[in-house]
């Protein structure tokens, strides 16, 4: 009887540990921790303005926002899923979201690449239509969709729209 109790207690403890350590949506990382390869975007400061002078430099204290010709861009914090990180950039003009770009999506396996390719455009359209991160998830890609929403929510906070 004693062995059975020890075995059951060990099984319970192991199960609890695995559940606690399992990665799910919600783990965040800062924009400066996003791999540089994934964040490649044209620099608005490199483009000359109408006067021929370089455009304004982004605030060095906030690497997640930069002014551009079509509005100001804000990079949301990366959100982690067990399949990889999701990082989203929004462009805001006159208090409205005018563009949403997925800078980083899960790509650790072929299935992740396929899901990411399906999720990113659907979530982009939903965010643009709702002008919010409060949108439905994509069926079959709940964790990736939730991470997308978290990154958008973070960018909206940085933009002062949340």
Say if 70 falls within a structural domain. Answer: yes
* CATH number, residue 128: 3.90.1010
The answer to whether 90 and 152 have CB atoms below 8 angstroms apart is: yes
In tens, the pLDDT along 68-115 reads: 566 899 999 999 998 899 999 999 999 999 999 999 999 989 999 999
Give 20 or 159, the one with higher predicted confidence: 159
State yes or no: pLDDT of 137 exceeds 90.
yes
Say if 150 falls within a structural domain. Answer: yes
Confidence of residue 64 (pLDDT cuts 50, 70, 90): low
State yes or no: pLDDT of 51 exceeds 90.
no
Q: How many domains would you assign to the chain? A: 1
The answer to whether 159 and 62 have CB atoms below 8 angstroms apart is: no
Residue 80 to residue 93: CA distance in whole angstroms: 28
Residue at token pair 């996003």: 34
State yes or no: pLDDT of 58 exceeds 60.
no
Say if 14 falls within a structural domain. Answer: no
| 102 backbone dihedrals φ, ψ, rounded to 5° | -85, 110
């Amino acid at each position: 009887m004693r062995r059975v109790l020890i075995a059951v207690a060990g099984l319970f403890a192991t199960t609890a540990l695995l559940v606690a350590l399992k990665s799910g949506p919600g783990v965040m990382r800062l924009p400066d921790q996003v791999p540089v390869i994934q964040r490649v975007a044209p620099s608005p400061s490199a483009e000359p303005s109408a006067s021929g002078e370089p455009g304004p430099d982004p605030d060095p204290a906030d690497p997640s926002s930069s002014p551009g010709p079509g509005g100001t861009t804000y990079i949301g914090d990366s959100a982690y899923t067990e399949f990889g990180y999701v990082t989203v950039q929004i462009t805001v003009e006159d208090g409205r979201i005018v563009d949403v770009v997925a800078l980083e999506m899960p790509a650790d396996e072929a299935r992740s690449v396929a899901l990411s390719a399906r999720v990113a455009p659907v979530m982009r359209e939903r965010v643009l239509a709702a002008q919010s991160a409060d949108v439905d998830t994509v069926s079959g890609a709940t964790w990736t969709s939730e991470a997308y929403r978290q990154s958008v929510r973070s960018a909206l906070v940085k933009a002062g729209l949340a």
